[in-house]
Structure 1
Amino acid sequence: MMLYSFAKTVVKSIFKPLYRIEVIGRENFPSTGGVLLCSNHISNLDPPVVGITCPRPVCFMAKEELFNAPILKSLLPGLKAFPVKRGMSDRGALRTGLALLKDGEVLGLFPEGTRSKTGQLGKGMAGAGFFALRSEAAVVPCAVIGSYIPLRKTKVVYGKPIDFTKLKEEKVSAEEATEKIMDEIRKLIETHQR
Structure 2
Amino acid sequence: MAHDPGTPTVPPREDAARPLPVVASETAVGRRDLERDERLALHENVTGKGVNPIVYWVVRAFFQPFFHIYFRMTRIGREHVPTSGPVIFAANHRSFLDPFILGAMSRRPLYFVAKKELFRKPLQRWFLNSLGAFPIDRGNADGDAMSTAKAILERGDCVVIFPEGTRVRPGGLGTPKRGVGRLALETGAPVVPVAVHGTTHIRTRWKIRPHKVIVRAGRPLRFPHVEQPTGELAKNVTDRIWPCVELQWNSLGGHVTETGIGVDPELLRPELAPAIGVRALAAGSGDHDHQEARSAGS
Question: For each residue in 1:25-83, what CA deviation from the matched residue of structure 2 results, as whole angstroms up to 9, or x when unmatched?
Answer: 00000011000111001112211111233332100011111111232111112101111
Deviation at 1:191, TM superposition (A): 2.2
User: What does residue 284 of structure 2 align with?
Assistant: none
- Which position in structure 2 is the counterpart of 1:63? 115
SS across alignment from 1:108: strand
Contact 1:29 1:55 in 2 (8 A): no
The CA deviation string for residues 3-24 of structure 1, in whole angstroms up to 9 with x for no partner, is: 1111111111222211110000
Who is 1:28 aligned against?
80
CA distance in 1 between counterparts of 2:119 and 2:126 reads 8
* Structure 1 residue 166, shift from structure 2 partner: 10
Find the aligned partners of 2:129 and 2:115 in 1 and give their Cα distance.
13
Structure 2 stretches of 5 or more lacking a match?
1-52, 203-208, 254-287, 289-298
Amino acid of the residue matched to residue 188 of structure 1? Q
User: Which protein, 1 or 2, shows the higher relative CO under an 8 Å CA cutoff with sep ≥ 6?
Assistant: 1
CA distance, structure 2, for counterparts of residue 88 and residue 180 of structure 1: 24
Deviation readout 1:138-177 (Å, 9 max, x if unpaired): 1111000124554542110011001324999x97521221
CA drift at 1:136: 1.8
- Name the amino acid aligned to 1:176: N
Partner SS for 1:153:
coil
Q: Which residue of 2 aligns with 1:10?
A: 62
The aligned residue for residue 112 of structure 1 is 164
**Deviations 1:64-112 (CA, angstroms, capped at 9, x unpaired):** 1111123211111210111111101111111111011000010011110
The alignment partner of 1:173 has SS state of helix
Is contact 1:17–1:151 with CA below 8 Å preserved after alignment? Answer: no
Letter of the 2:233 partner, please give it: S
Distance change in 2, residues 1:73/1:152 (3 Å): closer
- Structure with the greater alpha carbon radius of gyration: 2
CA distance in 1, matches of 2:224, 2:141: 25
TM-score between both structures, scaled by the size of structure 2: 0.61
Equivalents in 2 of 1:66, 1:116: separation in Å? 17
8 Å contact kept, 1:62–1:81: yes
In the alignment, the residues of structure 2 paired with residue 166 and residue 134 of structure 1 have an alpha-carbon distance, to the nearest angstrom, of 6
Q: Determine helix, strand or coil for the equivalent of 2:122.
A: coil
Distance 2:104 2:57 in 1: 10
Residue identity matched to 2:181: G
Equivalent residue, structure 2, for 1:52: 104
Other structure's SS at 2:247 match: helix
* Matched letter for residue 162 of structure 2: F
How many residue pairs are counted as aligned between the two chains? 193
**Unaligned 5+ residue runs, structure 1?**
none
Q: Which amino acid aligns with 1:184?
A: C
Cα contact 1:37–1:139 (8 A) shared by 2 = yes
**1:80 has 2:140 as partner:** no
TM-score by structure 1 length? 0.91
**Distance in structure 2 (CA, Å) of the matches to 1:113 and 1:189:** 17
Task: Tell me the secondary structure at the aligned position of residue 164 of structure 2.
Answer: coil
> Counterpart of 2:238?
178
| Counterpart code for 2:144 | G
Q: Which residue of 1 aligns with 2:222?
A: 163
In structure 2, relative to structure 1, the CA distance for the partners of 1:64 and 1:94 (3 Å cut) is same
Once structures 1 and 2 are overlaid, which stretch shifts more, 4-13 or 104-113?
4-13
Q: Does 1:43 align with 2:90?
A: no
Distance 1:138 1:100 in 2: 14
